[in-house]
Structure 1
Amino acid sequence: MKKVSKVFYIAIAIVVFMVILGASFPKQFERITSDIQSLVSTTFGWYYMLLMSALVIIAIMIAFSRFGKIRLGKDYEKPDFSTPTWIGMLFSAGMGIGLVFYGAAEPLFHYVVDAPNAEVGSDAAFKDALAFSYFHWGIHVWAMYGVVALALAFFQFRKGEPGLISATLKPLFGDAMKGPLGTVIDVLAVFATVFGVATSLGFGAVQINGGLSHLFGIEVGFLSQLIIIIVATFLFIMSAWSGLSRGIKYLSNTNIVLAVILLLIILAVGPSILIMNMFTETIGLYIQNLISMSFKTAPLEGDNRTWLDGWTIFYWAWWVSWAPFVGMFIARVSRGRTIREFLLGVMIIPTLFISIWYAAFGTTAGNIQNNGIDLSGFATELVLFNMFDQLPMSTFLSILAIILIASFFITSADSATFVLGMQTTRGSLTPPNMVKIAWGFAQSAVAVILLYVGGLTALQNTIIIAALPFSFVIILMVVALFKALQKEI
């Protein structure tokens, strides 16, 4: 494998070491990750809030600046993929599994278990629950993805640099990015990618297990989740073998179709008028309170710091850990688009779809809760399926949801193997299949270990830890991008 760089060997050695450590000392591993996570959340919560808010401002400034007309590629190049396919790809890679996992459960939690602002169970809490769900999955996330992807696409397709995180920092560090410092940067990106994606795969396995248990009585536990991950690993490696333009393209289009079908059915059989009314009012609430939400740090003793750490800080860290993966993937499929078209598309389209999704699923779950069916007593992965039980076509909806989660699982893992392959083969757009397969097994092994040592808690802890070092790289990428853009016009 002549294309393989030293980043591959260093990163795979670190991942293997972490897997062995977790398997050998599960209790100690869980305790250590928990302690580090608590320290990071308490110490750097303000930093994550400022970083994500700053990236929104930066993305909007660039989109509407004179740089917006620059094309990500040569001036004569056209987009590689049609707009519908492009939207499907960035959406599927960006957050598919999490959207199904949390779609009903997150708003329900904010409403009846632990409300961020209002009294638990009140009408105000119901509306806040949706607004904060839009906030956690909306424009902040996609602005961050957009800025990272923009830097990668600009340097790769406009400047002819390899598709590596380190290559985007050349305006700041020059040829040092070809040496040990560049290697460290790329290893950090690989580490964040592996653990960020492994977390999502863990969530997917847990929810597929929950759905199968709900429908067929299959036991919920580590063994069942292990079997699910093994089967899914085989499927996404087969897809990865077929290449970007075939496997991921078809899977992404399938994901969008299945997601839209599920959403339309919920809109039809759920409390339709209530959903549309709640969406209209809460999207306004989200926009109205966007600034205060963006800078909420719960600094005083009477503030709900536990909620902030468990939700907003967790999400910001999760998205940052996904940034190298999603950024590279979105960059790869966005060649030929202008910066303005790219940034506005990445920020606006997913945010609107996700808001409608949360309005539909969150309102339906809240309405069922108000009608005397306590959905909040179920585990997170089971809320969705127990919500379906109160609707027409419940079995069909559950089966469709399981298929959608599995499809998102395969697409995310497939996309990640491609991106990890790029990062460890000097930015090659056609990484060898053996490299992709190695990363496919590695990220599945990490998901298995994280579930083994502590289930969802260990998954969340690891996200926050993995994200912190890469967040500093994002800041450097922004500075380097501005420096390079200044020379374009």
Structure 2
Amino acid sequence: MSHSMTDTMEASSSGFLSKFDNLDHRLFWPAIGFTFLILLSAVLFPEGTNTFANTGMKWITNEFGWFIQLAGFACLAVLLWLAFSRFGSIKLGAESDTPEFSDSSYAYMIFTAGVGAALIFWAVGEPMYYMQSPPMFSEVGSVEASQWLITFTLFHWGPIGWAIFCLPAVPFAYYLHKKKKRNLRLSNVLEDVIGKKNANGTVGYIINIIAIFGTLGAFSTSMGLTVGLIGAGINKLTGIPNDIVLQVGLIAAFIIFYAFVMFAGMKKGVAKLANACVYAAFILGLFVLISGPTAFIFSYFFDSAGVMFNNFIRMSFWSDPVQKSGFPQAWTMYYWAWYFAYLVMMGVFLARISKGRTIRQLVLTTITCGSAGAAFFIAIFGSYSVHSEINGILPVLEWMNEFGVSMAVVETINALPMGSIILVVFLFVEFFLMSTTMTSTAVSMSMMTTKELDADSDPDASVRMIWALGIGAVSMAAFFMGGSIDTIKSMCIIVGLPMIALYILMMICLKKWIKQDHPELMAK
């Protein structure tokens, strides 16, 4: 190796290591440590921790579920008003700024960041659960129950969910690109409301830790689903046991792959990965559509979409206070709280990629493209699994109850023409989808815990890498500690409730900023 090349590598390595100084260690280590503490408590005191987490989750959904539903619907209403009002034309950046990514790449990055690999998992799994416990007072096995199977799945992955993802992105993007701030700690974003002293003091510190923990908890849940699903597929194809060794190996593979994407950068790495993911997933979906019950898929989807639009308000506020079936609490309220917990991850990532776009473009692209993309996969994979079950073609429900949702999904995919080949393609798509979500999470966490972002609003590569390792370590710990993912899920829902208060504070800040920067719009 030449001396010049050696010197270059040493300089690069030295620069990489020195950049750790830009990591906010006061936030990073306590947030990671707090998450590990929850996991450790789940191992040392499994019954007590699980009871506490489940009791807390049930208390929140039973006592404050109506508020969670109201907050979710309010996010959609506020964003649509904002997009179509005079404020929708406000550019997120200087007037001379142009979008960094093409319209298609922008939409694909939003979609892949928001859904990950969990979408296809639940596209098959949710309708099967609803078949056993139908919503809206339907009887099991009735024709009335069948109309809700993918209707509620479409609803849970539809406009309200994407609005919850999108709402914090607007103030984050305004703060980053319009105000030109280089520190994205949530407490600093809220400084105009909570005051500088609180933002830099204990109150701000607690806000930041809770926000990061919520993201880690929400992401760990998605990672747990994905690793279990890919492991089940590998087991089906090769016979390798889907045990802790395989699962930890898969998480290590995610970290290694992320390193390659990260060093390629946002345009060459993240954007191209998102594009490839969407194209591959779209082709897979079209194959299932063509080789499956095509007419039924179209008919069932449009019928279900009609039922959803016809009952959208009812579904948005259905809390079942009299019959107390528990369906809204276990599903809708859980989903909304889970989405609220993603405040930092989705808010910061969407803000990062929205420079040069208007508030209207950010809002409408996120809600429409996110909902449409999710509907595409739910329509195809959900309808295919429902058709297979109700016509006795495949025992999807039996597979799910006996072996779990992951194996049911794998067996359903494997039953397609050229099943083994399609299953391999499916597993690669799932891996890449999860990789985009992991990349989005690591970038967002890095931006929030970087002392000062560079001119392009990017965190240092070293900070992004240590966050990828931190996220991977949390996920591995959850698998090693067995059953802790369920506890993390419950804790994530508990954290989701106070996030709603932060949403409100962020919108108050946004109003103040617009009033300062655009008095002519406020005067109107």
TM-score, normalised by the number of residues in structure 1 = 0.94
Q: 2:186 aligns with which of 134, 157, 165?
A: 165
Residues 177-216 of structure 1 deviation map (CA, whole Å, 9 limit, x = unaligned): 2444333322222111111111111111111111112222
Letter of the aligned partner of 1:461 in structure 2? Answer: S
Shift of 1:403: 0.6
Q: 2:492 aligns with which of 448, 458, 463?
A: 463
Do structure 1's residue 387 and structure 2's residue 412 form an aligned pair?
yes
Q: 1:192 aligns with which of 192, 196, 214?
A: 214
> 1:69-84 maps to which residues of 2 (within 5 A)?
69-84=89-104
Cross-structure match for 2:328 = 308
For residues 397 and 340 of structure 1, what CA distance do their matches in structure 2 show?
A: 39
Cross-structure match for 2:3 = none
Shift of 1:309: 2.4
**Cα contact 2:42–2:484 (8 A) shared by 1:** no
**Cα contact 2:120–2:378 (8 A) shared by 1:** no
Letter of the aligned partner of 2:151 in structure 1? Answer: A
Cross-structure match for 2:22 = 3
Q: 2:132 aligns with which of 113, 123, 127?
A: 113
For residues 465 and 44 of structure 2, what CA distance do their matches in structure 1 show?
A: 25
- For residue 355 of structure 2, give the secondary structure of its aligned residue in structure 1: coil
Cross-structure match for 2:424 = 399
Cross-structure match for 2:314 = 292
- For residue 334 of structure 1, give the secondary structure of its aligned residue in structure 2: coil
- For residue 167 of structure 2, give the secondary structure of its aligned residue in structure 1: helix
**Cα contact 1:52–1:140 (8 A) shared by 2:** yes
Identity %: 27
> 1:420-459 maps to which residues of 2 (within 5 A)?
420-426=445-451, 428=453, 429-451=457-479, 452-454=481-483, 457-459=486-488
> 1:408-419 maps to which residues of 2 (within 5 A)?
408-419=433-444
Shift of 1:85: 0.6
- For residue 116 of structure 2, give the secondary structure of its aligned residue in structure 1: helix
For residues 359 and 383 of structure 2, what CA distance do their matches in structure 1 show?
A: 36
- Unaligned stretches of 5+ residues in structure 2: 1-19
C-alpha change, 1:239 and 1:333, in structure 2 (3 Å) is same
For residues 412 and 36 of structure 2, what CA distance do their matches in structure 1 show?
A: 40
Cross-structure match for 1:274 = 296
Letter of the aligned partner of 2:102 in structure 1? Answer: S
For residues 445 and 25 of structure 1, what CA distance do their matches in structure 2 show?
A: 21
Which range moved further: 100-109 or 145-154? 100-109
- Unaligned stretches of 5+ residues in structure 1: none
Cross-structure match for 2:14 = none
Cross-structure match for 1:45 = 65
Q: 2:379 aligns with which of 352, 356, 359?
A: 359
For residues 455 and 14 of structure 1, what CA distance do their matches in structure 2 show?
A: 14
TM-score, normalised by the number of residues in structure 2 = 0.88
Which range moved further: 167-176 or 40-49? 167-176
Shift of 1:455: 6.1
For residues 416 and 260 of structure 2, what CA distance do their matches in structure 1 show?
A: 36
- For residue 331 of structure 2, give the secondary structure of its aligned residue in structure 1: helix
Do structure 1's residue 214 and structure 2's residue 240 form an aligned pair?
no
Letter of the aligned partner of 2:461 in structure 1? Answer: N
C-alpha change, 1:443 and 1:27, in structure 2 (3 Å) is farther
For residues 173 and 31 of structure 1, what CA distance do their matches in structure 2 show?
A: 34
For residues 452 and 363 of structure 2, what CA distance do their matches in structure 1 show?
A: 23
For residues 399 and 453 of structure 1, what CA distance do their matches in structure 2 show?
A: 27
**Cα contact 1:150–1:339 (8 A) shared by 2:** yes
- For residue 453 of structure 1, give the secondary structure of its aligned residue in structure 2: coil
C-alpha change, 1:294 and 1:427, in structure 2 (3 Å) is farther
Which range moved further: 158-167 or 189-198? 158-167
**Cα contact 2:214–2:341 (8 A) shared by 1:** yes
For residues 446 and 41 of structure 1, what CA distance do their matches in structure 2 show?
A: 26
For residues 206 and 487 of structure 2, what CA distance do their matches in structure 1 show?
A: 25
For residues 346 and 169 of structure 2, what CA distance do their matches in structure 1 show?
A: 8
**Cα contact 1:237–1:414 (8 A) shared by 2:** no
For residues 225 and 458 of structure 2, what CA distance do their matches in structure 1 show?
A: 29
**Cα contact 1:15–1:442 (8 A) shared by 2:** no
Residues 152-183 of structure 1 deviation map (CA, whole Å, 9 limit, x = unaligned): 00111111223332233233234232444333
Cross-structure match for 2:514 = 485
Cross-structure match for 2:504 = 475
C-alpha change, 1:16 and 1:368, in structure 2 (3 Å) is closer
C-alpha change, 1:46 and 1:289, in structure 2 (3 Å) is same
Which range moved further: 181-190 or 74-83? 181-190
Which range moved further: 144-153 or 35-44? 35-44
**Cα contact 1:168–1:481 (8 A) shared by 2:** no
Which range moved further: 79-88 or 41-50? 41-50
Shift of 1:71: 0.4
**Cα contact 1:22–1:450 (8 A) shared by 2:** no
Which range moved further: 26-35 or 400-409? 26-35
**Cα contact 1:16–1:442 (8 A) shared by 2:** no
C-alpha change, 1:232 and 1:40, in structure 2 (3 Å) is same
Cross-structure match for 1:245 = 267
Letter of the aligned partner of 1:172 in structure 2? Answer: V
Letter of the aligned partner of 1:236 in structure 2? Answer: Y
- For residue 81 of structure 1, give the secondary structure of its aligned residue in structure 2: coil
Which range moved further: 179-188 or 89-98? 179-188
- For residue 147 of structure 2, give the secondary structure of its aligned residue in structure 1: helix
Residues 287-308 of structure 1 deviation map (CA, whole Å, 9 limit, x = unaligned): 11110111011212x2311x22
Residues 271-296 of structure 1 deviation map (CA, whole Å, 9 limit, x = unaligned): 11111112222212111111011101
Letter of the aligned partner of 2:306 in structure 1? Answer: G
C-alpha change, 1:318 and 1:253, in structure 2 (3 Å) is same
For residues 452 and 317 of structure 2, what CA distance do their matches in structure 1 show?
A: 36
Which range moved further: 127-136 or 41-50? 41-50
Letter of the aligned partner of 1:470 in structure 2? Answer: M
Which range moved further: 436-445 or 270-279? 436-445
C-alpha change, 1:144 and 1:131, in structure 2 (3 Å) is same
C-alpha change, 1:16 and 1:367, in structure 2 (3 Å) is closer
Letter of the aligned partner of 2:366 in structure 1? Answer: V
> 1:228-243 maps to which residues of 2 (within 5 A)?
228-243=250-265
C-alpha change, 1:219 and 1:165, in structure 2 (3 Å) is same
